[in-house]
Structure 1
Amino acid sequence: MLSSFFSLRFATATVQILGLFHLVSGSVFITHPFGGITCEGGQNCTVTWADDGQAPLLNAIGPCDFGLYEGSENTLIQEIALGLDVSEVRALTFTVDSKTGPNSNS
């Protein structure tokens, strides 16, 4: 199972969005958000990705699950999308749950 991680700062800790790509060995290149970009509770956050050029390509990966995870044990704190077909879509926008914790900038 392949996974693609990147961090967003908000809530109590650095939080990760994890896309689980079933039964593949390629990877997905996250193009947004990237270093220094934050998503705030109650606001929309857009995640975009591109093919990394390694087999399998996005058109062969298909449906993926996305969630907001926290900590080294990757505790799910918000489900974002289930079964999103990355072969058809290159972005998703979701509203960050404002109840995920206090602002990390405080």
Structure 2
Amino acid sequence: AFEDVRRNDPLFTPQNLKLAWPLVEEIRRLAAAYGKTPAQVALNWLVRDPWIYPIPGAKTPEQAVENAGATGWMLSDDDWRKLDRLSWEISQRIIYVTW
């Protein structure tokens, strides 16, 4: 269970998190293929999108170093498009709850 703002955010329901699983698995697969961490792959993917400005957080020096490892390399065009497609598919199926 989340112990932060996500606890009350309807986007983080179990149903929605289940929809994201294929994207998570692909990020993990790419991390292994590129010799990077899943966080580095995710940040690298997001930085390349002209409409997204990721703001990675770091609670420890190690996390800051890990975040920096998202730079200096690029996902292939095919890998970037696959993540983008998976993300789009999730966005079309996600369950939005309004109050």
Task: Report the TM-score, using the length of structure 1 for normalisation.
Answer: 0.24
Greater relative contact order structure (CA < 8 Å, 6+ sep):
2
Compare CA radii of gyration and give the structure with the larger one. 2
Q: Which has the higher strand share?
A: 1
Q: Which has the higher helix share?
A: 2
Task: Report the TM-score, using the length of structure 2 for normalisation.
Answer: 0.25
